C-alpha cells in the first residue's frame, strides 16, 4: 500500500503535517470567535433596541393623540366660523335682498 508510511521519518513528517493543519484550524477558530459578539453585549444591544422601539411607540401614541386634538380644534373652529360669521352675515344679507326685491315691486 503506497499510502502507508514506510519509515519512521515519514511517520513523523505526516504527524507534523497533521499537527500543523490542526494548529491552523484552531487559529481560524480563534479568529472566528474574536469576531463573534459576546452574549452580554448581544443582550445589552437587544435591550437598548427594545427600549428604543418602546420609546417610538409611546411617541407615536402621543402624536396620534395630538393629531386627534388638532382635528377636534379644526372642527370647533369651523363651527365657530359658521356660527359667528356666516349666520350673522346671512341674517343681514337675506333681509336686504328681501327689501330690495319688495322695493322694486312698489
Residue 4, Ramachandran bin (φ over 0: left; ψ between -120 and 50: alpha; else beta):
beta
Whole-number pLDDT of residue 44: 94
Low-confidence ranges of the chain (pLDDT < 50): none
- Find the distance separating the first CA and the last CA of the chain, reported in whole Å: 136
Coil/strand/helix, residue 6 = coil
Question: Which pLDDT score is estimated for 75?
Answer: 94
C-alpha span between 45 and 51 (Å, rounded)? 10
pLDDT of 69 reads 95
Contact, 20 vs 26, CB < 8 A? no
pLDDT reported for residue 86:
86
Q: Which residue is listed with cell 507534523?
A: 16
Looking at residue 73, what is its pLDDT?
A: 94
Q: What is the pLDDT of residue 63?
A: 95
Between CA 80 and CA 26 the distance in angstroms is: 80
How confident is the model at residue 2, as a pLDDT?
A: 61
Q: Rounded to the nearest 10 degrees, how much is the dihedral formed by the CA atoms of 45, 48, 49, 50?
A: 120
Amino acid at each position: 500500500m503506497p499510502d502507508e508510511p514506510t519509515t519512521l521519518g515519514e511517520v513523523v513528517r505526516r504527524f507534523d503535517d497533521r499537527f500543523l493543519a490542526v494548529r491552523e484550524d484552531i487559529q481560524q477558530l480563534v479568529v472566528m470567535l474574536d469576531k463573534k459578539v459576546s452574549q452580554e453585549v448581544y443582550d445589552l444591544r437587544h435591550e437598548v433596541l427594545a427600549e428604543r422601539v418602546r420609546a417610538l411607540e409611546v411617541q407615536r401614541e402621543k402624536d396620534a393623540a395630538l393629531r386627534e386634538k388638532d382635528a377636534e380644534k379644526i372642527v370647533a373652529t369651523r363651527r365657530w366660523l359658521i356660527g359667528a360669521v356666516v349666520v350673522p352675515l346671512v341674517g343681514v344679507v337675506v333681509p336686504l335682498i328681501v327689501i330690495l326685491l319688495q322695493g322694486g315691486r312698489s
